[in-house]
Amino acid sequence: MTSKIAVIGFGNIAKAIITPLFDKKLLNPKDVYCLVNTKKSLENIKKNYKYDINIFQANSKGSEIIWDCKVKLLSVKPQQIKNIIELENNNNNLLVSILAGVSLEKLIKRFPNHKCIRVVTNIPITIGKGLTGISWGYEITDDQKQLIRRLFENSSKIYEFPEDLLDIFLALTSSGPAIIALIIEALSDGGLSGGLQKNLSEELVMEMILGTVNLIRETNLTTAELKNMVTSPGGTTISALRVLENRCLRSALIEAVVSASNRSKEFR
Ligand SMILES: NC(=O)c1ccc[n+]([C@@H]2O[C@H](COP(=O)([O-])OP(=O)(O)OC[C@H]3O[C@@H](n4cnc5c(N)ncnc54)[C@H](OP(=O)(O)O)[C@@H]3O)[C@@H](O)[C@H]2O)c1
């Protein structure tokens, strides 16, 4: 794929992005140089991670080698970015940030000797079903874009956006799994209230959601058509929907997405 890749912050999401590339032999573990902050994480990765990567604790002897890599994946928490000090002379190298909400402008100020790229991905990337939004920075060549797409395309679907749409992409796709988890939990509690065992109730909810999504996809029904199909006059479903309309569920979901997007903008 490329000669060397550095991962600054080899945590959950970085592992989810990089591990499938090792699994598919698209990347050689020997060519990957990773940094973590604590000795505990270093030892944990050395002991338990299934591939033998080059791993260093930040600021330890030899860790500067990561700055020799042509591509760096920045995957620390947004509040930890202040601890990363750029050691770079070659201004054709790439820095790909997956930090929620941190703008290209901020990245370019912090890493002036890199060409910066901002990426938003989501937690289903850990099972190869992620969604990744990419906003290219300045002067990225087509070959460089192709290289970066290859980092993510094994574990996610890729969408390319101007940066001002990344916040709403993040709200929908990165915050979305928590919203869906909450909906699954609440519907399961509904089943529990009606006398079902919790596990069975949760299983039924998840199968129902999967089946509904597949039905919409496979038949090209609109969501309104599907709703009308299962809503009979004076029936059970319209009774349920009335409760949700009364409690403003639609408005709450719209506002939740807008709120997450606004919060992401505040990090800039
Ligand atoms: N979680 C999500 O759903 C999600 C989705 C998309 C994007 N993101 C973004 O992904 C980023 C990482 O999230 P995560 O969930 O993977 O976090 P995480 O598991 O906590 O990983 C952060 C990693 O950064 C390391 N680190 C901290 N300070 C460092 C320093 N000064 N130098 C080098 N490494 C350092 C940590 O090392 P230690 O373990 O030693 O502290 C850890 O390996 C965040 O910016 C987040 O916005 C997260």
Q: Tell me the DSSP string of 110-163.
A: H-TTSEEEEEE--GGGGGT-EEEEEEE-TT--HHHHHHHHHHHTTTEEEEE--G
pLDDT of residue 101: 84
Q: Mean pLDDT throughout 247-259?
A: 98
User: What is the pLDDT, as a whole number, of residue 41?
Assistant: 97
Q: Domain residues of the chain, as ranges?
A: 5-165, 176-267
Alpha-carbon distance of 165 to 145, in angstroms, equals 19
pLDDT higher than threshold 80 for residue 72:
yes
Percentage of the chain with pLDDT > 90?
91
- CA nearest ligand 1 atom 48, residue: 13
Whether residue 66 contacts residue 33, with contact meaning beta carbons closer than 8 Å, is answered with yes
Choose the residue to mutate in 15, 35, 37, 263 for probing ligand 1, maximizing ligand atoms within 8 Å of C-beta: 37
In a mutational test of the pocket of ligand 1, which residue from 40, 43, 76 has the highest number of ligand atoms less than 8 Å from its CB? 76
Residue 260 has pLDDT above 90, yes or no: yes
Answer whether residue 56 shows pLDDT above 70: yes
Cα–Cα distance between 145 and 133 in angstroms, integer? 13
From the CA of 14, how far away is ligand 1's center (Å)?
A: 8
Residue burial 43-74, b: 16+ Cβ < 10 Å; e: rest: eebeeebeeebbbbbbeeeebeebbebebbbb
Q: How many CA atoms lie within 13 A of 173 on its CB side?
A: 24
Q: Answer yes or no: are the C-beta atoms of 88 and 68 closer than 8 Å.
A: no
For the chain, helix, strand, coil in percent to 5 are 55, 15, 30
Ligand 1 geometric centre to CA of 189 (Å): 33
Ligand 1 atom closest to residue 10's alpha carbon, by position in its atom list: 43
Q: Is residue 8 lining ligand 1, measured as CB closer than 6 Å? A: yes
**How would you class 15 by CB atoms within 10 Å of its CB: exposed for 0-12, middle for 13-18, buried for 19 or more?**
middle
d(CA 155, CA 248) in angstroms, rounded, equals 36
> Residue with the nearest Cα to atom 9 of ligand 1?
99
How confident is residue 90, by pLDDT bands cut at 50, 70 and 90?
confident
> What mean pLDDT do residues 202-210 have?
98
Instruction: Check if 13 has its Cβ closer than 6 Å to any atom of ligand 1.
Output: yes
Question: What pLDDT score does 2 carry?
Answer: 59
Q: What is the mean pLDDT of the chain?
A: 94
Q: Which of 45, 57, 75 to mutate to test the pocket of ligand 1 (most atoms within 8 A of CB)?
A: 75
Tell me: pLDDT of 1 over 70.
no
User: What's the 73 CA to ligand 1 centre distance in angstroms?
Assistant: 11
CA–centroid distance, residue 230 to ligand 1 (Å): 44
Mean pLDDT of the region 85-90 = 81
- Rounded-to-integer distance, Cα 175 and Cα 91, Å: 34
Q: Is the CB of 99 inside a 6 Å radius of any atom of ligand 1? A: yes
CATH, range 176-267: 1.10.3730.10
5-165 architecture in CATH? 3-Layer(aba) Sandwich (3.40)
Provide the pLDDT for residue 100. 87
Does residue 156 have its Cβ closer than 6 Å to ligand 1? no
Q: What is the mean pLDDT of residues 204-229?
A: 97
pTM equals 0.90
CA separation for the pair 240, 223 (Å, rounded): 16
Using a 10 angstrom Cβ sphere, with 0-12 exposed, 13-18 middle and 19 or more buried, the burial of residue 138 is exposed
